[in-house]
């Protein structure tokens, strides 16, 4: 009898241990990535480097104040000739402030950010799940490869494909496609750092496949848990310190 | 024989399958389903467990500093046309603007320029903005001083905004001329309302309040944003007349900018001292901004304050009889003295990441007059920008530019920002 009970217990334990753990869905994985890439209430200093075909570079330092994915504000510190320029994202709308004429102008979402290969959406709005449906294209030994397909034509890209490390849930690489399936840009992530209670890549390199141009975005400084006053996200306060 | 047949069917079905995929426009992304390496030497996954921790001291970091912007501009201008060719060089402008935190929620602002004009061989100081701003609560703010805050959509002219109505023509020097006011604002993210006291109607050459003022003026100004549509409204009394303006703006599909502005005032006084009651100015604009290589704007401006054909022809007859009577009339130097205009602008930003190019035009729909302005900027270094502007005024006899000051004007400028 004891042998039978032992055999049943062993069998049962084998059955239970052999049952695989519940796999994470693409949406759950992307949610984790977004949480690190775009936490609420932070201030940061980003450095953008645009590499030109003639070998010269253009560098932009922008300080960001971010309330959430729908509310962010950028202030240009460098280059000096762009000093004082501002960008404000309010949900689906983007405003830019031109210090030369002290004027706020509403602009389209698709314009490149700071003349580089990152778009406004790439920099100021990492809320992919709001605009894209996520599905796992392939699961390799070390990475999830996830497709993000636009829910409608208002998304910046028709499709994105992102490679995510299984162990750390950090993005490794991202492809951006248009509606014809043409690969437009490739973003490579690196230099993973910890800022407060988040860990994320601090360096992103975006290569424009069409133009062969390349831009780099590096996080110089990032402060979490900053309560940013709502006044920072008011159009009439563009051009003003808060 | 059977095996040949099977091979052929296999081969053909393969071709059909591949051809079908191509015909259906299947993307080539499925070939990219291998593991990615990320950035070399920096994103190896083993490194992610020993990440670098970045901290900063919020009290001493750049977050809490104020902001300043200073530049020195030197330019030279050549005009040619109705008078002898004239060259003026060097002209200069030194500008400083700052916004400094002086207490927890209080700021001091200043924006001043020193100009040097080769034509008059003298320098002058002008105060664009100055004042004190403080936050009373999360939603309330006040300001006392001279301020500029323009957000109306019109490219060169904004009928809806009777306070910040400067016409910014491309290729001209920066224009940030503010207005003396007291402002109490209630601000939320999706909208704001300003209660303005406007005590200054005339200024000295330095931009300071003149000695005689009518202080019983003010305005209410609001902006509300909902579902991607921005609506602004402004009513008040300024420069001796009651005024009102409104604008609506949206960006369809995040590509096509569309806007309408309307503005009116109690009365205007024209060149011959006749008055016109409640003339309406309206502006309808369309823009395409989806491309990263260029943007286009097209506006139709109906200027109710301008001269209709009969009035214009009468003015031109008087002007031909007595040119000296009109010589100093600044109203007639505006590009918008008649009633119907097309305004257009095409911008090519960061061409090869080194050049900006803009071409703009103002075309009268009532005669053959055309003002066109082209500007090329070379982004020489982080601090230095070199610009070339070319302005051309065209218009035959009987057009608004018949008595133009010049045919062409070329300006070369260097701007060093620090």
Nearest to B48 among A103, A168, A196 (CB): A168
d(CA B298, CA B344): 4
Q: Is A56 exposed, middle or buried (0-12, 13-18, 19+ CB in 10 A)?
A: exposed
The answer to whether the beta carbons of residues A175 and B32 sit under 8 Å apart is yes
Question: Which of A10-19, A91-100, B245-254 shows the lowest mean pLDDT across its residues?
Answer: A10-19
What's the confidence (pLDDT) of residue B414?
Answer: 97
What's the confidence (pLDDT) of residue A207?
Answer: 93
Interface of A with B in 178-207 (CB under 8 A): 180-183, 188-196, 199, 201-203, 205
DSSP-based three-state secondary structure for B277: strand
The answer to whether the beta carbons of residues A230 and B189 sit under 8 Å apart is yes
Question: For residue A107, is the peptide bond before it cis, meaning its omega torsion is within 30 degrees of 0?
Answer: no
- Chain A within 8 Å of B397 (Cβ-Cβ)? no
User: Which residue of chain B comes nearest to A181, CA vs CA?
Assistant: B27
Between A and B, how many residue pairs show a Cβ–Cβ distance under 8 A?
246
- Give the residue-averaged pLDDT of A14-18: 45
DSSP-based three-state secondary structure for B7: helix
Q: What is the DSSP annotation of B91-125?
A: EEEEEEEEEEEEETTEEEEEEEEEEEETTTTEEEE
User: Which residue of chain B comes nearest to A233, CA vs CA?
Assistant: B189
> Shortest Cα distance from B276 to chain A (angstroms)?
31
- Top pLDDT among B298 and A16 is at B298
Q: Which residue is it, tokens 């600044």?
A: B330
What's the confidence (pLDDT) of residue B6?
Answer: 55
The tokens describing B416, both together, are: 């060093």
What's the confidence (pLDDT) of residue A227?
Answer: 82
- What are the tens digits of pLDDT across the range A188-220? 999 999 998 899 999 999 999 988 889 999 999
> Shortest Cα distance from A6 to chain B (angstroms)?
41
Q: Which residue is it, tokens 């930003």?
A: B349
DSSP-based three-state secondary structure for B386: strand
Sign for the pseudo-dihedral over CA of B205, B206, B208, B211: negative
Strands (E) in B171-240, as ranges, are: 179-188, 191-197, 218-226, 229-238
H and E: helices and strands count for chain B: 3, 21
d(CA B356, CA A98): 15
Q: Is A183 exposed, middle or buried (0-12, 13-18, 19+ CB in 10 A)?
A: middle
The answer to whether the beta carbons of residues B262 and B154 sit under 8 Å apart is no
d(CA B404, CA A102): 30
What's the confidence (pLDDT) of residue B31?
Answer: 54
What's the confidence (pLDDT) of residue A118?
Answer: 82
What's the confidence (pLDDT) of residue B46?
Answer: 34
What's the confidence (pLDDT) of residue B116?
Answer: 96
What's the confidence (pLDDT) of residue A186?
Answer: 94
Is the entire prediction scored with pTM above 0.90? no
- The answer to whether the CB atoms of A111 and B27 lie below 8 A apart is no
pLDDT tens for chain B, residues 1 to 418: 455 445 445 444 444 444 444 344 344 455 567 888 777 644 433 333 333 444 444 444 444 568 899 999 999 999 998 667 899 999 999 999 999 998 888 999 999 999 999 989 999 999 999 999 999 998 999 999 999 999 999 999 999 999 987 767 777 788 899 999 999 999 999 999 999 999 998 999 999 999 877 777 999 999 999 988 999 999 999 999 999 999 999 999 888 999 999 999 999 888 777 888 999 999 999 999 888 789 999 999 999 999 999 999 988 888 888 877 777 676 677 889 999 999 999 999 888 778 999 999 999 999 999 999 999 999 898 999 999 999 999 999 889 998 888 899 999 999 999 8
Sign for the pseudo-dihedral over CA of B269, B275, B280, B281: negative
- The answer to whether the CB atoms of A173 and B189 lie below 8 A apart is no
Q: Are strands A57-68 and A42-51 parallel, antiparallel or unpaired?
A: antiparallel
- Top pLDDT among B226 and A115 is at B226
- Chain A within 8 Å of B57 (Cβ-Cβ)? no
d(CA A204, CA B39): 8
- Chain A within 8 Å of B167 (Cβ-Cβ)? no
What's the confidence (pLDDT) of residue A2?
Answer: 57
d(CA B286, CA B256): 7
Q: What is the DSSP annotation of A50-66?
A: EEPTTS-EEEEEEEEEE
User: Which residue of chain A comes nearest to B288, CA vs CA?
Assistant: A108
Total residues found in chain A within this entry: 242
Q: What is the DSSP letter of B150?
A: B
d(CA B108, CA B124): 23
Mutate to test the interface with A, among B21, B22, B51 (most CBs of A within 10 A): B51
> Shortest Cα distance from B120 to chain A (angstroms)?
25
Q: Is B391 exposed, middle or buried (0-12, 13-18, 19+ CB in 10 A)?
A: buried
> Shortest Cα distance from A39 to chain B (angstroms)?
16
User: Which residue of chain B comes nearest to A63, CA vs CA?
Assistant: B63
Q: Which residue is it, tokens 């091979």?
A: B7
- What are the tens digits of pLDDT across the range A166-190? 999 999 999 999 999 999 999 999 9
Nearest to B254 among A50, A108, A138 (CB): A108
What's the confidence (pLDDT) of residue B20?
Answer: 41
What's the confidence (pLDDT) of residue A111?
Answer: 61
d(CA A8, CA B233): 79
- Give the residue-averaged pLDDT of A231-238: 95
Q: Are strands B52-54 and A183-195 parallel, antiparallel or unpaired?
A: parallel
A42 CB neighbours in chain B (<8 A) are: none
- What are the tens digits of pLDDT across the range A124-179? 677 899 989 999 999 999 999 999 999 988 788 899 999 999 999 999 999 999 99
Cα-based angle B375, B292, B260 (whole degrees, multiple of 5): 75
The answer to whether the beta carbons of residues A29 and A167 sit under 8 Å apart is no
Asked whether residue A28 carries a pLDDT value surpassing 90, the answer given is yes
User: Which residue of chain A comes nearest to B178, CA vs CA?
Assistant: A102
Q: What is the DSSP annotation of chain A?
A: -HHHHHHHHHHHHHHHHHSPPPPPPHHHHHHHHHHHHS-SSEEEEEEEEEEPTTS-EEEEEEEEEEEETTEEEEEEEESGGGTT-EEEEETTEEEEEETTTTEEEEE-TTSBGGGSSSBHHHHH---HHHHEEEEEEEE-SSEEEEEEEESSTTSS-SEEEEEEETTT--EEEEEEE-TT--EEEEEEEEEEEEETTEEEEEEEEEEETTT--EEEEEEEEEE-S----GGGG-GGGTTS--
* Number of neighbours of residue B11 by Cβ within 10 angstroms: 10
- Chain B within 8 Å of A92 (Cβ-Cβ)? yes
The answer to whether the beta carbons of residues B93 and B415 sit under 8 Å apart is no
DSSP-based three-state secondary structure for B59: coil
Q: What is the DSSP annotation of B298-341?
A: EEEEEETTS--HHHHHHHHHHHHH-HHHHTT-GGGGSS--SSEE
The tokens describing B84, both together, are: 């002898």
The answer to whether the beta carbons of residues B66 and B99 sit under 8 Å apart is yes
């Amino acid at each position: 009898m004891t042998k039978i009970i032992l055999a049943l217990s062993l069998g049962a334990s084998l059955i239970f241990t052999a049952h695989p753990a519940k796999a994470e869905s693409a949406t759950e994985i992307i949610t984790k990535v977004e949480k690190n890439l775009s936490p609420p209430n932070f201030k940061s200093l980003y450095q953008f480097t645009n590499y030109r075909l003639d070998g010269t570079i253009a560098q932009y330092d922008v300080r960001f104040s971010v309330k959430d994915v729908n509310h962010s504000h950028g202030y240009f510190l460098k280059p000096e000739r762009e000093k004082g320029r501002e960008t404000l994202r309010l949900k689906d709308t983007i405003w830019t402030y031109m210090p030369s004429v002290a004027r706020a102008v509403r602009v389209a979402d698709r314009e490149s950010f700071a003349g580089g290969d990152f778009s406004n959406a790439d920099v100021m709005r990492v809320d992919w799940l709001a605009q894209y449906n996520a599905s796992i294209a392939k699961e390799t030994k070390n990475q999830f490869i996830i497709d993000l397909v636009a829910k409608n034509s208002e998304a910046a890209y028709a499709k994105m494909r992102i490679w995510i490390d299984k162990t750390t849930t950090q993005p490794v690489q991202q492809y951006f496609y248009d509606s014809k399936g043409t690969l437009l840009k490739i973003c490579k992530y690196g230099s993973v750092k910890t800022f407060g209670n988040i860990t994320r890549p601090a360096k992103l390199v975006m290569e424009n496949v069409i133009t062969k141009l390349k831009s780099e975005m590096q996080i110089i400084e990032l402060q979490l848990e900053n309560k940013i006053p709502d006044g920072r996200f008011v159009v009439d306060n563009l051009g003003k310190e808060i | 024989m059977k095996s040949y047949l099977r091979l052929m069917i296999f081969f053909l079905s393969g071709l059909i399958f591949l051809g079908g995929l191509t015909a259906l426009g299947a993307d080539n992304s499925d070939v990219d389903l291998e593991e990615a390496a990320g950035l070399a030497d920096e994103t190896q996954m083993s490194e992610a467990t020993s990440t670098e921790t970045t901290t900063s001291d919020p009290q001493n970091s750049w977050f809490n500093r104020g902001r300043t912007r200073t530049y020195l501009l030197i330019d030279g201008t050549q005009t040619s046309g109705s008078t002898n060719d004239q060259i003026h060089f060097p002209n200069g402008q030194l500008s400083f603007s700052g916004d400094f935190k002086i207490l927890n929620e209080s700021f001091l602002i200043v924006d001043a320029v020193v100009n040097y004009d080769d034509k008059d061989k003298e320098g002058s100081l002008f105060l664009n903005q100055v004042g004190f701003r403080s936050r009373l609560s999360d939603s309330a703010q006040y300001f006392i001083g001279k301020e500029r805050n323009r957000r109306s959509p019109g490219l060169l002219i904004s009928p809806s905004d009777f306070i910040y109505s400067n016409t910014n023509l491309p290729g001209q020097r920066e224009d940030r001329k503010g207005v003396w006011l007291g402002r109490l604002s209630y601000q939320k993210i999706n909208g704001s309302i300003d209660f303005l006291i406007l005590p200054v109607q005339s200024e000295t050459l330095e931009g300071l309040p003149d000695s005689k003022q009518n202080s019983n003026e003010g305005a209410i100004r609001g902006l509300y944003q909902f579902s991607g549509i921005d609506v602004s409204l402004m009513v008040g009394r300024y420069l001796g007349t009651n005024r009102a303006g409104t604008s609506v703006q949206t960006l369809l599909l995040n590509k096509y900018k569309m806007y309408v502005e309307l503005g009116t005032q109690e009365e205007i006084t024209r060149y011959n001292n006749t008055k016109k009651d409640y003339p309406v100015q309206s502006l309808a604009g369309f823009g395409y901004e989806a491309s990263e290589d260029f943007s286009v704007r097209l506006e139709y401006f109906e200027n109710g304050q301008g001269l209709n054909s009969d009035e214009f022809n009468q003015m031109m007859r008087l002007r031909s009889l007595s040119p000296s009577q009109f010589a100093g009339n600044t109203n007639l130097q505006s590009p918008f003295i008649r009633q119907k205009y097309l305004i257009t602008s095409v911008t090519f930003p960061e061409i090869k990441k080194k050049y900006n190019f803009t071409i703009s035009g103002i075309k009268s729909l009532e005669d053959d007059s055309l003002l066109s302005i082209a500007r090329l900027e070379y982004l020489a270094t982080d601090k230095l920008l070199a610009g070339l502007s070319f302005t051309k005024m065209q218009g035959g006899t009987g057009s608004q530019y018949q008595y133009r000051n010049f045919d062409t004007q070329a300006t070369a400028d260097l701007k060093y920002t620090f």
